[in-house]
Structure 1
Amino acid sequence: MVLRVAVVGGGLMGAAAARSLSARGHRVTVLERFGPGHDRGSSYGTSRIFRLAYAEPSYTELALRALPLWRRLEEESGQPVLTLTGAVDHGLPRAVDRLADVLAAAGRSAQRLSPGEVAERWPGLRADTTALYHPDAGRVHADDAVSALLKAAGQRGAEVRHGVRVTEIRHTGRTGGGVTVVTDADEALTADAVVVAVGGWAPGFLPAVVSGLPPMRVTQEQPVHFPVPDALDWPSFIHHPGAGWNMPGGLYGLGSADGVKIGLHGVGQVVDPDHRDRTPDPAAVDRLRAYAQEWLPGVAGTEPVPLTCLYTTTPDEDFVIDRQGPVTVLAGFSGHGFKFGPAIGELAADLVEGRPGTARFALGRAAPTR
């Protein structure tokens, strides 16, 4: 049965859902509050890490599902978005060992390296205690990925409308469900189903639409870029805390068109996405500069260029991907969801079509804080 589906939010997750739904023949309308390529949310920029290595095997399985879907998107859109450079995890030995075990169980290759072997292979990177190299990793170009997903959706008939802010979602009460989506221009669109993927605006918007939403923190994170000429040759890397260096959440890095990007995971200040000061925090920049001086000899002599982005984090750092009535929710991607984008689009399309979701990502779940 062909469904009329409204997708509220045209960032990565909304775009991925629109692409999957339109590919299955549904009539899709995407309503995005801001203009194309905007920098107000969590989906903009030149780089996000792609990796298979997770301590939780279900995330490795989801990344394995996403990998061929990224490649299929490149074929559909004619736009390259994913570059595999490999990745280096290093730091606390038991954290690295766990990743090696999960990758081995998934049948993916990985190689243990000493800090000396890391320095020999990547002179710009200093490893802590023990390291694991895995080749099926690298970077996704964020802006190009969103653009390619919306392009692919449009090629399958989806209507993509920018500059449209949704103010309300009403259940129609008709037999079989259905919704009315109301915009700030008092336009009312009727649909059989709606997908809500509004990023940092989810905690303020979704409680009026669904029940069982876990608490979510919206924070402004401040990574930096070091503009070195060989940035695109760097692997992505994660420094796990607890050995020679210790910062809660750890540090991530990767090469990009803007330089070598590094950031601390989930340490930013809580913000309102509509009223945030995007002025860089000098103390945050200084922390990353000090880290680079000790652990990244390859960026010596360069000055970090700061940027800001939004994290929307659940207590357990698991996502919300679930359906309640005609409303499918995509939320709380906790600073690590981008790599899964096209696979999450498929999960969203499954939910819209009535297939069951995953307990790990359910509304109303009882989950411990990690």
Structure 2
Amino acid sequence: MGTATRGDRRDADVIVIGGGAMGSAAAWQLAGRGLDVLLLERFEPGHTQGASHGASRIFRLSYPDPLHIGLARRAGELWRELEGESGVALLSVTGGVDHGGSPALDRLCAGLEAEGVESHWLDAAEAEDRWPGMRVDTRALYHPDSGRLHADRAVSALQSAAGERGAVVLHRTRVQRIRVIDDGCVEVETEPDRRPLRARRVVVAAGAWTEHLLAGLVPLPRLRVTQEQPAHFVPVAGEAGWPSFVHRIAPEADGFQKFHSGIYGMATPGEGVKVGFHGVGPRVDPDRRDFRPRPELAAALEEYVRTWLPGLDASTAVPISCTYTTTPDETFVLDRRGPIVVAAGFSGHGFKFVPVIGRILADLAVDGKRPDPLFALDRPRRAPQTV
């Protein structure tokens, strides 16, 4: 791609918009290839406006298909590489459990077995004896390689490592407009400096602000932005020993069937056990969020904890506010149109893949190498997939 110079009016080879996990991983990977990289983030370091903050995200290989399993395996290797490069502990292996009456568990088990991922079934009594803080619905599939990622540390480590590789990271820099120039370059207009920045490529990993920036520039799928409200609960007997878990409720089950898309949780050292419903929050404009938990969802989550997680004190909920940005089929977008690389729609299951997605985005920016067509902007319409 060449090196940017003031003589040809370029400020960088690649401008990355969005300093959350995905954009920071792209900057890390691009800078590692010797490119001049400029990472622009509109908020301050460690902010809580988007979807990359907090101390805990689930890491798992437990997917029903070889594509996601392969991505998760490579991501696991790259998380360890980042730990070695940054000197920061990011991934803790705790083991993971999927349980419930949903037929999705059978597909999950078959997918793991086909790819040689260690897992085994436990009946409800066996699982509850092993994890007495949980009630287990019908049966449990245990996968010992799952665990927990520290989100805040991950973003900080990625940005620090990108900087060590030569990237420039600018916080409190809001992108107002992206424009494709006739010579194939891209101009990015920012605040507070109104002077347009110019680059050969732009990577847009802006989460809930993606449509604001790319409307009319690339054919985005409809992106649904919601405000989600998981919560931390105090464990009765301490945080140690809790696996990451996903409760996959059968759609026809009584009680919490409206949350059958998944209920998840994991220990968050120092904060309790995080529990949340998957993607049920109200739609929001990311610039007009109120950050206030909805009483009906808070009550439902506390009732769920009383019913299914006796090892937690349901009266101790400390709500968390974050955004989800999802596509209609709940599969993320990794693609390129001209000089614009798009990364969008990761919410609910994207964080575990962060470093490998950074590598994919670098491939797209440098030589246009596209990943699996499943992630394309122009993929065929399909029903939401169980992930």
TM-score category, normalised to shorter length: over 0.9
Query: Which sections of structure 1, spanning at least 5 residues, go unmatched?
Result: none
After TM superposition, list the pairs within 5 Å mapping 1:65-104 onto structure 2: 65-92=74-101, 94-104=103-113
SS at match of 2:105: helix
1:105, distance to aligned residue in structure 2 (A): 1.1
The list of structure 1 runs, each at least 4 consecutive aligned residues, that deviate by more than 3 angstroms after superposition, is: none
1:231, distance to aligned residue in structure 2 (A): 2.1
Residues 1:142 and 2:146 aligned together: no
Contact persistence 2:43–2:173 (CA under 8 A): yes
Name 1:62's counterpart in structure 2.
71
Name 1:368's counterpart in structure 2.
382
Mapped to 2, the partners of 1:301 and 1:213 lie a distance apart of 40
After TM superposition, list the pairs within 5 Å mapping 1:1-370 onto structure 2: 1-2=1-2, 4-92=13-101, 94-174=103-183, 177-184=184-191, 185-210=193-218, 212-228=219-235, 230-242=238-250, 243=253, 246=257, 247-257=259-269, 258-300=271-313, 302-354=315-367, 355-370=369-384
SS at match of 2:43: coil
Mapped to 2, the partners of 1:36 and 1:250 lie a distance apart of 31
Mapped to 2, the partners of 1:53 and 1:301 lie a distance apart of 28
Contact persistence 1:14–1:196 (CA under 8 A): yes
Mapped to 1, the partners of 2:110 and 2:337 lie a distance apart of 36
TM-score when scaled to structure 1? 0.96
1:98, distance to aligned residue in structure 2 (A): 1.3
Mapped to 2, the partners of 1:132 and 1:234 lie a distance apart of 15
Mapped to 1, the partners of 2:189 and 2:149 lie a distance apart of 34
Contact persistence 1:314–1:334 (CA under 8 A): no
SS at match of 1:230: coil
CA spacing shift, 1:301–1:220, aligned 2, 3 Å: closer
Q: Which amino acid aligns with 2:233?
A: F
1:203, distance to aligned residue in structure 2 (A): 2.1
1:350, distance to aligned residue in structure 2 (A): 0.6
Mapped to 1, the partners of 2:204 and 2:124 lie a distance apart of 45
SS at match of 1:107: coil
SS at match of 2:71: helix
Q: Which segment drifts farther, 91-100 or 13-22?
A: 91-100
The root-mean-square deviation of aligned C-alpha atoms, in Å, is 1.4
Mapped to 1, the partners of 2:319 and 2:371 lie a distance apart of 38
1:219, distance to aligned residue in structure 2 (A): 0.2
1:238, distance to aligned residue in structure 2 (A): 0.4
CA spacing shift, 1:369–1:233, aligned 2, 3 Å: same
1:154-173 per-position Cα deviation (integer Å, ceiling 9, x unaligned): 01000000000011111121
1:301, distance to aligned residue in structure 2 (A): 6.1
TM-score when scaled to structure 2? 0.92
Contact persistence 2:223–2:328 (CA under 8 A): yes
Q: Which amino acid aligns with 1:166?
A: V
Contact persistence 1:2–1:25 (CA under 8 A): no
Aligned residue pairs total 367
1:281-334 per-position Cα deviation (integer Å, ceiling 9, x unaligned): 121111111011111011036511111110001000000110111110111113
Mapped to 1, the partners of 2:212 and 2:107 lie a distance apart of 37
CA spacing shift, 1:163–1:135, aligned 2, 3 Å: same
Mapped to 2, the partners of 1:301 and 1:17 lie a distance apart of 39
Percent of paired sites with the same residue: 51
Mapped to 2, the partners of 1:91 and 1:332 lie a distance apart of 26
Q: Which segment drifts farther, 327-336 or 14-23?
A: 327-336
Query: Which sections of structure 2, spanning at least 5 residues, go unmatched?
Result: 4-12
